Structure 1
Amino acid sequence: MASQTGTIVACPACNTLNRLPTGRPPAEGKCGKCASPLFTGQPLTLTAANFDAHAARSGIPLLVDFWASWCGPCRQMAPAFASAATQLEPAMRLGKLDTEAEQAIAGRYGIRSIPTMILFAKGREIARQLGAMPTGSIVAWARQAAGG
């Protein structure tokens, strides 16, 4: 949700929605409620409690890695996904959703194989990618899928 006065960004620590003023460097953004940085350069752990705040109510796209601890390719891709966060923030938020712990959300999006990455914008799925990828491929795919 970008506007003339800024972009709405959900806090990665407390999920409070914050307005990041236009022109202010995103790295300086802090949550108005808990004072945590709005961008950490690390993937967020997504749960039923915070998923919608970041996927639907935040004004920046959300790239989600649907994974499980027993999945070898998921574990193999984890460092690449974490590295991609440092390159893609603050243009988008990256998050990891454990499909075993959050089966309802995985079911809502028809996750049948993992790892699966889905890019959300304003609560809608805009792109999906199946299979493990290296950092450079994640970054290139996400930027292309987001339109820039």
Structure 2
Amino acid sequence: MGAAMEGVKLTCATCGQTNRVPRDRLAAGPKCGTCGDPLADGRVHELDARSHDKAVRSDDLPILVDYWAPWCGPCRAMAPEFAKAAKAVAPAVRLAKLNTQDHPEIVGRARIQGIPALILYRQGREVARLAGARPAAQIVDFLRQHLSLAA
């Protein structure tokens, strides 16, 4: 099996199902085989505790998670910038959000000390962190620096 046909594991943010997508089909907008929601469409997807744990531990694509809360002004202000960054790096990297207010158990496990906090995961490991609200260009630069993405 060639590298282009090699399957990439992606967790559906909606239903938590693991999907295998041929690498050469990532840009074609693959959908979850169970619920039909998009998997790597350049949008930011909201994770729950189950889909968060599954995605950061087992997805083959890097995932950048924004740990945020609805009461956090800087978090809300950064949301449109995070969405712009998601479009800029898709389908090479997926961007997702986790509401820390709804999932406090993740906060302790991920050692979140302040929000917004961005944590980049790759192949089940934390690669890097970025604290504070950032414009899209800084988020993309952060990803390029840590993942060797093309400019």
Asked if Structure 1 and Structure 2 have the same fold, meaning a TM-score greater than 0.5 normalized by the shorter chain, the answer is yes
Tell me by how many angstroms 1:25 deviates. 4.6
Tell me by how many angstroms 1:3 deviates. 8.8
Tell whether the 8 Å contact from 1:52 to 1:123 is kept in structure 2 after alignment.
no
Tell me the secondary structure at the aligned position of residue 50 of structure 1.
Answer: helix
Which residue is 2:8 aligned to? 7
Q: How does 1:86-105 map to 2 (within 5 A)?
A: 86-105=87-106
CA distance in 2, matches of 1:25, 1:121: 17
Higher mean alpha-carbon deviation, 122-131 vs 2-11, is at 2-11
Tell me the secondary structure at the aligned position of residue 7 of structure 1.
Answer: strand
Tell whether the 8 Å contact from 2:41 to 2:91 is kept in structure 1 after alignment.
no
Tell whether the 8 Å contact from 2:27 to 2:91 is kept in structure 1 after alignment.
yes
CA distance in 1, matches of 2:122, 2:103: 20
CA distance in 2, matches of 1:30, 1:101: 26
Equivalent residues, number: 147
CA distance in 1, matches of 2:106, 2:4: 29
CA distance in 1, matches of 2:117, 2:47: 14
Any unmatched runs of 5+ in structure 2? none
- Deviation string 1:52-104 (CA, Å, 9 cap, x unpaired) is 22111111011011111111111111110011111112111111111111111
Tell whether the 8 Å contact from 2:45 to 2:97 is kept in structure 1 after alignment.
yes
Cα 1:63/1:42, change in 2 over 3 Å: same
Any unmatched runs of 5+ in structure 1? none
Which residue is 1:20 aligned to? 21
Which residue is 1:132 aligned to? 133
Aligned-residue CA RMSD (Å): 1.9
- Normalised TM-score (structure 1): 0.89
Tell me the secondary structure at the aligned position of residue 107 of structure 1.
Answer: helix
- Deviation string 1:23-42 (CA, Å, 9 cap, x unpaired) is 33532422222333322321
Q: What is the letter of the counterpart of residue 115 of structure 1?
A: P
Q: What is the letter of the counterpart of residue 108 of structure 1?
A: R
Which residue is 1:55 aligned to? 56
Identical columns (%): 44
Tell me by how many angstroms 1:109 deviates. 1.2
